Structure 1
Amino acid sequence: MHGLAHVRGSAFDLGGAAAPHGKTALADEAHWVTSCVRAVHVACALLVVVDARAANAWIDVAWERVRACRVVHHCMFEALLATCAFAGWIALYKLADRTPALRHLRFRSATEHVRQGVSYTNSWVMGAGYLALIYAFHQLRTKPPLDIAPPTARRLGVEVALGVVAYDACEFCAHVLMHRVRCLHRLHRTHHAQAALTAAETLHHDTADAVQQVVLNVLVQQLSPWGAKHSLSRMVHNVLVTYMLTEIHAGYDAPWCMHRVWPALFGGAARHEVHHRDGNVYYAEFFKGFDELLGSVKPRMASTGASLSGESAGGVRRAVGQRT
């Protein structure tokens, strides 16, 4: 009950009782940040629709500068970019873990025991293994040269969006099998060894589990309505997906998180927190729709109509608080 009382007083339990003095400002700030992030997303989309030439001109300049860098032409650049992006996103969230002012944004108590050493070691091992796997792949299949012409804003947006949806769909299917097929579940147990999520847990996998994720990402990077996916689209995909994976494992109910910014579309960290706690629900990492189709969602309480899963982030906090 102590944990329940603690989380109901948090800045993000907006559906509960009135927040005590000092928490209201945090809640207002959360709404402001969420609205700003959402506005940036909408503005970018409107720019492409209203003035595509301006968006295309910006992309032309950006792609020219990217192509001017010699390292970008190396066959391992995209893999190195993904690795560095993972390291950067994880480092940012680990810095947040060490920032007292941000502790109220976590789903779980900041004092909860976290085996960070195991995760850090595993992250380095998985990073090296990923690079070795991609290097071996390029020895078997020569990487084509970078595209010379820049993509249009429309092509860039469609290819990146298609890649993210395709990755989540493929990983959703693989994730369901990992939980429901006994021999595969053994491979996935490593990832669920620690219930209290931190950013480093993103890379805490059994080798076979990690390999299937890499293979799926390589496959979805080949998808494009234009035939071959543009080099810039692949780069943006790697940076974006590594962030999204880090966010859902970081354990934060932050105002910039996808489940806050677009709650009707993304389950994100709110649902993934429940998945790591319960194990048999919410297999999709990003989008809500896949779990809705499969029926792998938590039942709603008859008395209140609220989801036991924490369909809202506040519900996750209450469920975690009761558990603690």
Structure 2
Amino acid sequence: MSCRNCSGEPQVLCSSGQLFLQPLWDSLRTREALLLSPFFPVLFSISTYVGFCLPFVLLDVLGPRAPALRRYKIHPDFSPSARQLLPCLGQTLYQHVAFVLPVTLLHWACSPAQLPREAPELPQLVHHLVACLLLFDAEFFAWHVLHHRVPWLYRTFHKVHHQNASSFALATQYMSVWELLSLGFFDMVNVTLLGCHPLTVLTFHVVNIWLSVEDHSGYDFPWSTHRLVPFGWYGGVAHHDLHHSHFNCNFAPYFTHWDKILGTLRSSPGPAW
């Protein structure tokens, strides 16, 4: 089933599976100049990241004045200070401007993009989103294990991320340039290999940033992602906190199957609430 649609352009055909996402995609396409700008990926990444971090920063600020919040903290007696928060934010902004932006400009110059008129079908978007998350999880697991098992790699590239023993949201991207660019490379390769629609790419980046921030937030809420995914398939914030505490377990960023297969899974204790 198909229909003439949705962007006001009669030559565009939309299948019934596209109708759900087509209005959203048409709205985004009205900002095509912004979406195709070489500056958009950096602005989008920074704004999404900071936007997801801010609620947790506010919770950390309110924590000493709201004892009820402490029951949801993995480390109830820890709150990051301004001397910890500001360097993390500053390093994220600096690395995106000094390193991510030039790479983005180079990619934009070598591979000019165009936006398709049709939105992806919803099942296709979900399929590609899950595939991207699983691929990223496997790639980062291998990268992560390697950088912990090879002392030179750990000292040179990964140690900076472990400088904060107790995680907090803005420490998510407190990492070396090599690590930041490696994770960005995994993202770019996966969406390219799968041929993801630009709307799927945006959705994947939003979900990936949110999950990484939540994993480092230090808060284990009843509605946290790992409590919504059944059968212990997803590790979550307590799972990742154990990695920062013990270094030799829970290397996968999100899911638990690779750690189970290779014997590096360590279960987190239940919440105090």
TM-score tier, shorter chain, comes to 0.7 to 0.9
SS in 2 for 1:253: coil
Contact 2:136 2:187 in 1 (8 A): yes
Deviation at 1:229, TM superposition (A): 1.2
SS in 1 for 2:164: coil
SS in 2 for 1:256: coil
1:235 and 2:202 are equivalent in the alignment: yes
Moved over 6 A (4+): none
Deviation at 1:92, TM superposition (A): 2.0
How many angstroms apart in 1 are the aligned matches of 2:207 and 2:178?
Answer: 23
Contact 2:42 2:96 in 1 (8 A): no
- 2:225 partner letter: M
Match of 1:196 in 2: 166
Matching residue within 53, 59, 62 for 2:21: 59
1:248 and 2:210 are equivalent in the alignment: no
Match of 1:98 in 2: 61
Structure 1's unaligned 5+ residue stretches are 1-51, 299-308, 319-324
Match of 2:106 in 1: 136
The CA deviation string for residues 185-238 of structure 1, in whole angstroms up to 9 with x for no partner, is 1110000011111001111001212221111111112132xxx21110001111
- 2:197 partner letter: H
**For this pair of structures, how many residues does the alignment match?**
249
How many angstroms apart in 1 are the aligned matches of 2:270 and 2:115?
Answer: 42
State the TM-score, normalizing by the size of structure 2.
0.84
How many angstroms apart in 1 are the aligned matches of 2:38 and 2:124?
Answer: 23
How many angstroms apart in 2 are the aligned matches of 1:143 and 1:270?
Answer: 42
- 2:224 partner letter: C
- 1:183 partner letter: W
1:220 and 2:157 are equivalent in the alignment: no
RMSD: 2.1
Matching residue within 38, 42, 47 for 1:84: 47
Contact 1:151 1:232 in 2 (8 A): yes
Deviation at 1:110, TM superposition (A): 4.1
Match of 1:148 in 2: 117
The CA deviation string for residues 263-297 of structure 1, in whole angstroms up to 9 with x for no partner, is 52200111100000000100001001111111112
Matching residue within 121, 130, 135 for 2:90: 121
Deviation at 1:158, TM superposition (A): 0.8
Deviation at 1:111, TM superposition (A): 4.0
